[in-house]
Amino acid sequence: MSLEAVLRDPRLWRCGRALPIEAETIPSGFAEIDALLPGGGWPRGALVEILTDMEGIGALRLVIPALAHLSQSEKWLTWIAPPHLPYGPALAAHGLALARLLLVWGIESPRERFWALEESLRAGACSAVLAWPRGLDGRGLRRLQLAAEAGRSLGLLFRSLAARREASSAALRLMLEPHGPLAAVSILKRRGGAGARPVYLDLRVPSR
């Protein structure tokens, strides 16, 4: 393989330099985010890490528009042991087709959760897989990234800010922090270049 071909590979990450990306993406539903992401959206067939220490700040709301879009396909949106039971009416109100939602529940063992996550990513039957893993190391993240590539699935991992200090094979890493009534979304890592300035989004659930 030539050097030119290697440099065009969308999996390549080069610190400090932005590169043109030719990879399939999924619109995030937020123009401010898409403007900063290579290809203009979440990377398909890759891991995305969303790091935050605060519940209710909007981590799930950030990915809901993409999930609604993906739910129109024949593949599954698989949730691996979420910390709270998803509220169906709210998801439907945001456009998710609930018939495509697959919930893997009641798994306590970290090893079994990892197995379910890796197999779901690799199977090719899931358009997206969401998980809230603990204790992942670099080797585990590499396995999950390869599984996402094999299954052409969007892997969404919700992790604590402590993971920021760890190396990661994920194609995209985001950090969410409170900024008054808004959420500050910072890109820690993205394909083709270094991070960018934070964007500030209103991710609050509208009051009824």
Q: What's the pLDDT tens digit per position in 44-76? A: 999 999 999 988 889 999 999 999 999 999 999
Q: Which amino acid is at 198?
A: P
- Sign (positive/negative) of CA torsion 89, 50, 186, 12? negative
Q: Given this structure, which CATH class describes domain 47-201?
A: alpha beta
Per DSSP bridges, beta strands 46-51 and 101-104 are unpaired
CB 105 within 8 Å of CB 80 = no
192: left (phi > 0), else alpha (psi -120 to 50), else beta?
A: left
Domain ranges of the chain: 47-201
| pLDDT over 50 (residue 17) | no
pLDDT of residue 71: 97
pLDDT of residue 106: 86
Cα–Cα distance measured from residue 177 to residue 182, given in angstroms and rounded to the nearest whole number: 9
Residue 111 three-state SS: helix
Q: Which two tokens stand for residue 141?
A: 């993240």
